[in-house]
Structure 1
Amino acid sequence: MLIVTKNPPVVGHGQVLRGPSVQAPSRIAALQGAYDRGIYLRPNLSSEGTVPASSPLSASPDIWIAGTQPVANFQTALATPNSYAQQSPGTITQGTPNYIYVRGRNGAAVSSSTKVLLYGVPCASIQWPSEWAKYGIPTDRDHPDGTNPHYDSSIVNLASSSIGVTADTFVWSNPQPPTGGSDHYCFITWMNNAGNPFPDVFSQLDMAALITNNLQFGWRNVSMQSGRSPTRQMASQLIIPSDVTAGSREYSLQVTNMGFPTTGWTLSMSCSQLDSKGNKIAIDNVAMPALGQFVGVRCTLVPGFSALLTLNLYKNNGPDSQPGASIDITPTYFSDGSPQELQEALDRGLVDFAMSHALHRAYAGTEVADIRPRPVVPLGADGLHVI
Structure 2
Amino acid sequence: MTTLYDDLFFRTNMWDVGQLPSPPDAYESPDIIPSGIYPTNNPQAYFSSNYNQDVGQSLVIDGPNYIYLRTKNLASGAQSGKVSLYYTPTSLLLYPNKWQNNALKTSDQQLQVFVQATQPGDIAVTDNPFVWEPSAISGDHYCLISRVSTPKHDNPIPQVGSYTDLTAFILNNPGFGWRNVSLTSANSPTFDTTVDYTQGTEAGSITFQLECTNVPGGASVAFSAGTPGPDPLIVLEKTTVPQNNGSWNTSVTCDVPANYQTNITYSYWANGTTPQPGFKLRLKALSYVDQSSQFFHLLRTPQQLGASPELARRMSAQRGIVLGSHVTIGR
| TM class by smaller structure | 0.7 to 0.9
Mapped partners of 1:290, 1:220: distance in 2 = 47
2:155 corresponds to = 196
| Structure 1 contact 333–378 (Cα < 8 Å) conserved | yes
Query: CA 1:138–1:385 in 2, change beyond 3 Å: closer, same or farther?
Result: farther
1:300 maps onto 2:254 in alignment: yes
Map of 1:140 onto structure 2: 107
8 A contact 1:94–1:177 mirrored in 2: yes
Contact 2:63 2:192 in 1 (8 A): no
Provide the secondary structure at the position in 1 that maps to 2:196. strand
C-alpha distance 114-288 of structure 1, shift in aligned 2 (>3 A):
farther
Q: SS where residue 268 of structure 1 aligns? A: strand
CA distance in 2, matches of 1:109, 1:44: 23
Partner of 2:128: 168
The alignment status of 1:236 with 2:195, answered yes or no, reads: yes
Partner residue in 1 for 2:225: 272
Contact 1:44 1:58 in 2 (8 A): yes
Cα pair 1:262 1:288 within 8 Å, conserved? no
Alignment-mate amino acid for residue 380 of structure 1: G
Work out the CA distance in 1 between the residues paired with 2:147 and 2:5: 16
Query: Which residue is 1:155 aligned to?
Result: 115
Task: Determine if contact 2:210/2:282 at 8 Å carries over to the other structure.
Answer: yes
- Equivalent runs, 1:1-387 vs 2, <5 Å: 33-36=3-6, 38-79=7-48, 82-141=49-108, 149-156=109-116, 158-173=118-133, 175-179=134-138, 182-192=139-149, 195-227=154-186, 229-240=188-199, 243-246=201-204, 249=205, 251-256=206-211, 266=219, 268-273=221-226, 276-277=231-232, 280-282=235-237, 284-286=239-241, 293=247, 295-303=249-257, 306-314=261-269, 318=274, 327-335=281-289, 337=290, 339-341=291-293, 344-346=294-296, 349=298, 351-353=299-301, 356-358=302-304, 362-364=308-310, 369-370=313-314, 372-384=316-328
Task: Write the letter of the residue equivalent to 1:301.
Answer: D
% identical equivalent positions? 23
**Number of matched residues?**
325
Partner of 1:255, secondary structure, is strand
Amino acid paired to 1:268:
V
CA-CA distance at 1:386 after TM superposition: 7.7
Q: Is the 8 A contact 2:66 2:130 kept in 1?
A: yes
Which residue is 1:24 aligned to? none
Q: Structure 2: where are the runs of 5+ without partners?
A: none
> How many angstroms does 1:214 deviate by?
0.2
**Shift of residue 121 of structure 1?**
2.0
Residues 306-349 of structure 1 show CA distances to partners (whole Å, capped at 9, x for unaligned) of 54321224565647989xx86432111222x4x423xx1236x3
Contact kept? 1:271, 1:310, Cα under 8 Å? yes
Secondary structure of 2:50's counterpart equals helix
Structure 1 residue 62, shift from structure 2 partner: 1.1
Aligned counterparts of 2:101 and 2:240: Cα–Cα separation in 1:
33
CA distance in 1, matches of 2:243, 2:8: 47
Task: Say which structure is richer in strand.
Answer: 2
Contact 1:332 1:376 (8 Å CA) reproduced = yes
Change (3 A) 1:373 1:358: farther
Residue by residue over 1:69-107, the C-alpha shift from the partner in whole angstroms, topping out at 9 and shown as x without a partner, is 32111133223xx32222113422223221110011222
Q: Are the aligned partners of 2:225 and 2:233 in contact in 1 as well (CA < 8 Å)?
A: no
Deviation at 1:165, TM superposition (A): 1.4
Q: Structure 1: any 5+ residue segments left out of the alignment?
A: 1-28, 142-148
Question: How far apart are 1:294 and its partner, in Å?
Answer: 5.1
Once the two structures are TM-superposed, the CA of residue 129 in structure 1 deviates from its matched residue by 0.9
2: CA distance, partners of 1:61 / 1:283: 26
| CA contact 2:215–2:276 (8 Å) conserved in 1 | no
Deviation of 1:290 after TM superposition, in Å, equals 7.0
Aligned pair in 2 of structure 1 residues 294, 264: CA closer, same or farther (>3 Å)? closer
Distance 1:262 1:360 in 2: 15
> Which of the two has higher C-alpha Rg?
1
Deviations 1:241-261 (A, max 9, x none): 5x5255xx3x32223467xx6
Q: Could you state the TM-score of these two structures normalised by the residue count of structure 1?
A: 0.71
